[in-house]
Amino acid sequence: MGVQNWTYILVGVTFAIYISIAIWSRASSTKEFYVAGGGVSPWANGMATAADWMSAASFIGMAGIISFAGYDGAVYLMGWTGGYVLLALLLAPYLRKFGKFTVPDFIGDRYYSDIARIVAVICALLVSFTYVAGQMRGVGIVFSRFLEVDIDTGVIIGMLIVLFYAVLGGMKGITYTQVAQYCVLIFAFMVPAIFISIQMTGNPVPQLGFGSELADGSGTYLLDKLDGLSTELGFSEYTEGSKSLIDVFAITLALMAGTAGLPHVIVRFFTVKRVRDARKSAGIALLLIAILYTTAPAVAVFARTNMIETVSNQPYSEVPQWFKKWETTGLITFTDKNNDGLIQYVADASKNELVVDRDIMVLANPEIANLPNWVIALVAAGGLAAALSTAAGLLLVISSSVSHDLIKKVYNPNISEKGELIAARISAVGAVCVAGYFGINPPDFVAAVVALAFGLAAASFFPAIVLGIFYKRMNKEGAVAGMVVGIAVMLYYIVKYKFGWLDDAVPNKSEWWFGISPEGFGAIAMIINFIVSITVMKFTKAPPTEVQEIVENIRIPSGAGEASNH
């Protein structure tokens, strides 16, 4: 049976499961819509958190960027993994004890201000829309190749699917759908990795395989071979980094702090019964996430090595079928500059004839390695599960920010529960439409778009949350000023140095502040936020006594039973 038929079967079966779960667990109250009723078990929440966390950027983008960036790509592994640990240890239990549905809800109540709440909502929308653009782009890429439609049509199909179960089920439907999606995505990621590891090195454990000798009896280590292939083509050695130390540090810090400020991950810790369960589910999720994150570098090495050996300096007339199929999507392009019929894949841009979108590396990897058709289709189903699970979580953040934090808390406190639920669902529909637009017109490849979202979260939410939990003297004036300045500086830097919209010129790396890339500038914007927040706080009055008492209360470990009602 062909790849397309297998894809229809596996994607159809998984989508039927997701939709069935959404119908079975549809939300009937705002509490179910926002936090799944607050009664999710630690294991279910851990799996859902892992799926929510491992987006298209983790499944598709991360191994793709590592396959091209090599050693430099490790910043994404360090930043995202370290950030999750930071979130689980430093923030999640305290936020759970505070007992609010959303991050803007926490900020609005902690800083006793509707202005703080509105600023937080704006920041949440900016972060979520930037993040969801990467997910919809990932969905479009998967559909474009495996259902043989164009990317724009693929994005629209994904919009309709995610709209159905996010709007119908709310957090309750999304939580149990994400449990199924975790199972699909991790199986889909590991099966081809194990196959290719055995094929190339004879070792069934991918994490060990990519550091092993090749199975061809040459005695050469796989990484040594890839270093040799890279230098032959004019690229730097795969295992050597080219980024400056300060940029590596800044990107890692921005991704870590951004992770700890991501509203769609934080809200997952409100879905369990107790603070103890929040800690437990955070640990479970970390173990489940580690399975994919420790495998991604191996997948990157396998894909890069196989691609170079398969197409570099080969006659275009003899390229394998997978190359032709990806070429129809526009994600691989070949231009025969010297008319010799051979594919020249080299570092020199003036001579290079092959352009490969790094987002296809994970998806094309099983095809390049000639794995069975069902494995190729399985990866498509896994990529969709990763993208849709995170997109659903982000859409819920967007809809709850509008319906709960703006309409209910600011503009219409007397709205009925039914009215609020309707507003949440209408907001989700609007959010899907905007997300689809960004998926069709993405600013960059999946992992880079997502990295910018993390930078925005680090620049805005992280200081306000940390200071709100650990510094009872922190007041509304300081928090609002810090968030506004932090996200404004970050947006300016992205617009100027990522897109070049302010200068009518191509962004120039030599002009970066302190030599830090837009993906890492969230660390600088975060530091600016901290400085502005504390400085403004020093010259304004202290928070009310009752607010300071709440801050004291959420840090008391004796409350590890039921969450505080504050």
Express each pLDDT in 387-411 by its tens digit.
Answer: 777 777 777 777 777 887 788 888 8
Q: Is 255 helix (H, G, I), strand (E, B) or coil?
A: helix
The pLDDT score that the predictor gives to residue 478 is: 96
Q: In the chain, what are the helix, strand and coil shares in percent, each to the nearest 5?
A: 75, 0, 25
pLDDT digits (tens, 9 = 90+) for 63-112: 888 888 888 888 888 888 888 788 777 777 787 777 766 778 889 889 99
What average pLDDT does the chain have? Answer: 83
CA distances from 202 to 206, 218, 296, 364, 367 (A): 10, 13, 18, 21, 19
Name which residue leads in pLDDT, 241 or 226: 226
pLDDT at 464 over 90: yes
CA atoms of 459 and 530, how far apart (whole Å): 9
The confidence score (pLDDT) of residue 31 equals 60
320-379 confidence digits (pLDDT tens): 888 888 888 888 899 988 888 888 898 888 888 898 888 888 888 998 888 888 998 898
∠ CA 157-160-161 to the nearest 5 degrees?
A: 90
Is 44 a residue whose pLDDT tops 60? yes
The C-alpha atoms of residue 379 and residue 367 are separated, in whole angstroms, by 10
Tokens found for residue 147 = 């259902």
Tell me the Ramachandran region of residue 541: left when phi exceeds 0, alpha when psi lies from -120 to 50, beta otherwise. beta
Which of the four pLDDT bands, split at 50, 70 and 90, describes residue 559? very low
Instruction: Among 219-233, 279-293, 393-407, name the one with the lowest average pLDDT.
Output: 393-407
Stretch 479-483: mean pLDDT: 96
| Assigned token pair, 272 | 């369990």
pLDDT band for position 245 (cuts 50, 70, 90)? confident
H or E stretch covering 476: helix 476-497
> What is the Cβ-side half-sphere exposure of residue 434, based on CA atoms within 13 angstroms?
17
Rounded average pLDDT over 537-561: 80
Distances in whole angstroms, Cα of residue 280 to Cα of each of 199, 241, 269, 465:
38, 37, 10, 21
Domains of the chain: 3-23+38-559 (1.20.1730.10)
Percent of the chain with pLDDT over 70: 90
The Cα–Cα gap between 239 and 493 comes to 30
Residues 120/103, Cβ–Cβ less than 8 Å:
yes
DSSP conformational letter for 564: P
- Among residues 103, 93, 89, 94, which one has the least CA distance to residue 34? 103
Mean of the pLDDT values across residues 45-69? 83
Provide the pairing of β-strand 332-334 with 354-356: antiparallel
Among residues 158, 50, 168, the alpha carbon closest in space to that of 384 is found at: 158
The rounded distance, in Å, linking the Cα atoms of 138 and 97 is: 35
The arithmetic mean of pLDDT across residues 410-423, rounded, is 82
Residues in the chain: 566
Mean pLDDT confidence for 245-253: 91
- Identify the residue with better confidence: 26 or 522: 522
Under 8 Å between Cβ of 207 and 56: no
